[in-house]
Amino acid sequence: MKKTLKIFKWTAIILGSLLAATFIFIQLTWNKKFTAPYPDIKASKDSTVIARGKYLAFGPAHCATCHVPMDKIMAVENGLEIPLSGGWELEFPGFGNFRAPNLTPDTETGIGKLTDADLARSIRHSVGSDGRLIFPFMSFQEMSDEDLTAVISFLRSQEPVSHLVPRTEYGLLGKALVAFGLLKPEGPKNTPQKAVVRDSIAEYGKYLTYHVANCRGCHTEMDVNTGQYIGADFSGGTLFEPDAFSNGYSHMSPNLTPDPNTGVITKWSEDQFLTRFTTGRIHEGSPMPWGAFSNMDSTDLKAIYRYLHSLQPVERKVAQTVIPPVEK
């Protein structure tokens, strides 16, 4: 009996010390400084370039659905065009409280003091100007030089708005992921193209769905703990838990591959697809930025439709995409 107690005591002491050591290690090392190359991107004052950037920000790349104050998100989704003064916030309990910063040229609270290369590096390599990790909410690593230039030129052209958005704060789990190297900045896998031909062809659709509009990110099942994709691309199945806009509803992304039994757009004509997008939001709380996407032009939409229809069909039934709250 005495012996068992002794073993128990020592096990507790050793486990306790290990836990304490792990805790101290996490606290000391999570706030790492990362490095990444600075892309050779320079903002332009050319009005055509700025207009392209604005189109991307309020349309396919939907920067404006995150980088505006929380109480303006839905108004922007419904067509209001305001400077991107930041404020969207999402809390993953334990992992952290993530906040989209002010992207107007204000020098104190916005991007006024950041260089074009700083901004391009944050967007392309997920490393902030101070070396911090930029959490992977954005999927623009392989956005073309031309489009990245356009977006940054547009950001610079906005009127400065003084709006202090506190930095993202990590919880213990989030810090642990960074400390142990499980979460690190994501850069491009392939060298980004200088420019992409904008035509209603599948190739351009592929570029948009992967590197601009993030259709792939939401419509491919992801392991929420590791951030790794575990489903076949575009076969759906990502669960979106209720958030500030969903009124208790959860959502699940449908299968976009042209599977005859389980693909949602398999039987849609190109015209039906275009109409669905120009109609905009149908389900009030859907996480999909339908409002921003309703600003997409027909070249972009046709390109996306043609690309999705060129995919290998994957049979995967997503039973319910709009899931009502469970009655208590």
Q: Which residues are near ligand HEC by CB under 6 A?
A: 56-57, 61-63, 65-67, 98, 100-101, 103, 119, 122-123, 128-129, 134-135, 137-138, 140, 151, 168, 209, 213-215, 218-219, 240, 251, 253-254, 256, 264-265, 276, 283, 286-288, 293, 304, 321-322
Q: Which is nearer to ligand HEC, 26 or 212 (CB)?
A: 212
Q: What is the rounded CA–CA span in Å between residue 258 and residue 267?
A: 8
Q: How far is the CB of 9 from ligand HEC (least distance, A)?
A: 43
CA atoms within 13 Å, Cβ hemisphere of 98: 16
**Of the two residues 26 and 170, which places its CB atom closer to ligand HEC in the complex?**
170
Minimal distance, residue 132 CB to ligand HEC, in Å: 7
Number of residues in the chain: 328
Nearer to ligand HEC, 151 or 232 (CB): 151
Between 26 and 293, whose beta carbon lies closer to ligand HEC?
293
CA distance 206 to 183: 26
What is the strand order of the sheet 96-99 is part of?
A: 89-92, 96-99, 169-170
Q: How far are the Cα atoms of 24, 40, 49, 52, 104 from residue 148, in angstroms, in the given order?
A: 40, 10, 10, 10, 16
Q: Is there a contact between 110 and 171 (Cβ–Cβ < 8 Å)?
A: no
Helix (H/G/I), strand (E/B), else coil: 301: helix
| Residue 166, CA atoms < 13 Å, CB-side half-sphere | 8
Q: How far apart are CA 26 and CA 178, in angstroms?
A: 8
Kindly state the smallest distance separating residue 268's Cβ from ligand HEC, in Å. Answer: 8
Q: Is 131 left (phi over 0), alpha (psi -120 to 50) or beta?
A: left
d(CA 65, CA 82): 11
User: What is the smallest separation between the CB atom of 202 and ligand HEC, expressed in angstroms?
Assistant: 13
Decide if 34 contacts 46 (C-beta within 8 A): no
* Nearest approach, Cβ of residue 126 and ligand HEC (Å): 8
Q: Which is nearer to ligand HEC, 26 or 240 (by Cβ)?
A: 240
**Which CB atom, from 95 or from 135, has the smaller least distance to ligand HEC?**
135
> Least separation, in Å, of the C-beta of 54 and ligand HEC?
11
Please report how close the Cβ of residue 86 comes to ligand HEC at its closest, in angstroms: 8
Q: Whose Cβ is closer to ligand HEC: residue 26's or residue 246's?
A: 246
Q: Given the complex with ligand HEC, which of 16 and 166 has the nearer CB atom?
A: 166
Q: Shortest Cβ distance from residue 328 to ligand HEC (Å)?
A: 24
Q: Let me know if 302 is exposed, middle or buried by CB neighbors in 10 A (0-12, 13-18, 19+).
A: buried
Residue 18's CB: how many other CB atoms inside 10 A? 10
Residue 205: both structure tokens together: 């659709």
| Residue nearer to ligand HEC on the CB measure, 8 or 314 | 314
87 φ/ψ angles, rounded to the nearest 5 degrees = 130, -20
Least distance from ligand HEC to the Cβ atom of residue 18, Å: 30
